[in-house]
Structure 1
Amino acid sequence: RLNDGEEGPGSWDWACDLLPQFKFCDGPALHERVPPDHWCVALNDLRQFRVLTTRAICHGQVLSTPADPFDVADNTNGPSITSVTRQLIAPITKMMGSPSWALMLHPEGLLCDLFVTHGWAEGIYEFIDKVLNSWPRDAKHVYCCMLSNPQCLDIGHLISSPRESPFARALLAAPCMLVVPNQVGSIYSRVWCTYEAYLAYSWGKTIETAESTALERWPRIIQAVCLYVFVAG
């Protein structure tokens, strides 16, 4: 179980009130049994994951690194998804038998009706807040690669044929794809994001772009208005 072991540095006991008392599972077997279009999380799971990440930072489980020198006091961008995956998702799921985060939460799976495409360099808070703010009204379960794919298993054989990959099978099931841009760089510098965009367009999916909250957009709106007034005289 998650809280097995001694307390102290490196212990995950602080997370037990946020996560159910999971039992060890056979991650590889679970991912063979549950189809990829069911490797999903729900809206509340994302909210919970944001809180969990904040606690992990406070308890020294997610650390700033030379590759990702995030400000631990920053609640807007946060550590990169790469850092969170390596320091939070992978250690916890490995203790549970190496399922994905999604199947750790929902062993029977949740049918995908929203597919998220994103980079891995953006901050986890920026990512989650944009997804929450832009969540389609009718969507229930989202496929998000960092949470949907097993981060401690070798899935090379699953992505050797991109059109038959877990990404493609989940996208095929989803009526909508949500594109999550970020402040670091274009997500289309990643080949997978480009391919996902191609598939979504080819399959006639609804494609939406995630946005920040209105409050976060105000500084840019004011800046644009001031620039217009200055130029217009």
Structure 2
Amino acid sequence: MSWKTAHRSFYYQNAPAPEDPVLIPQETALLCIDVQNYGMELHDDPDERARWAPFHARMQGTVIPTLRGLQERFRANGIDVIHARIACLLDNGRDRSLSQKLPGWNNLLMPLSSDASQIIPELAPARGEIVVTKTTDSALTGTNLRLILQNMGIRTLVVTGIYTDQCVSSTVRSLADESFRVILVEDCCAAGTDELHRQELAIINMIYCHVMTSAELIDLMQLS
């Protein structure tokens, strides 16, 4: 099954196959979202460590090596790679959005200079690459990324990162609402569970983005 028929929701179950998007290198950028140290930390509690084991297995076995390879291909072809990360500008986190302050798992207090807020070494920005810092789920509404993309003439974003059903999805929807063309690379993303990952892909595919694999994207863009 190709990207043209995969990940279909109820709304698009019988829709015709989409045409191949035209991806002009000068108008395209790879956007890597929130692959930071905090997401790679192992839980001290044995039960929580076991519960998150499938996520870490997907990250180490699929997402990190695949995204690293995609970054290298984009760089080799002179296509921009942009990074977004969660971090607060104030140590007490007063500058965070409400969704980052509510009690629970999503309550992230990570000052800008903390180790937890840094992008993991395997996917670290290359010299000169843009890194935006956000205090919201969406990398677009929480930063000046919209202005940056407009100034650079970028019209298509290839979106990757974590978590598929949270910051990735929020960014995809924001980009689509601002009339950017969006491709989500499914094997360069992960959610807390594979089920959540697949569910979110079906929800956002064909209305907010086109979901495809890294291999399909590489073939479409003819990346060497």
Task: Work out whether the TM-score is over 0.5.
Answer: no
What is the TM-score of this pair, normalised by structure 2? Answer: 0.30
Larger radius of gyration: 1
What is the TM-score of this pair, normalised by structure 1? Answer: 0.29
- Higher fraction of strand: 2
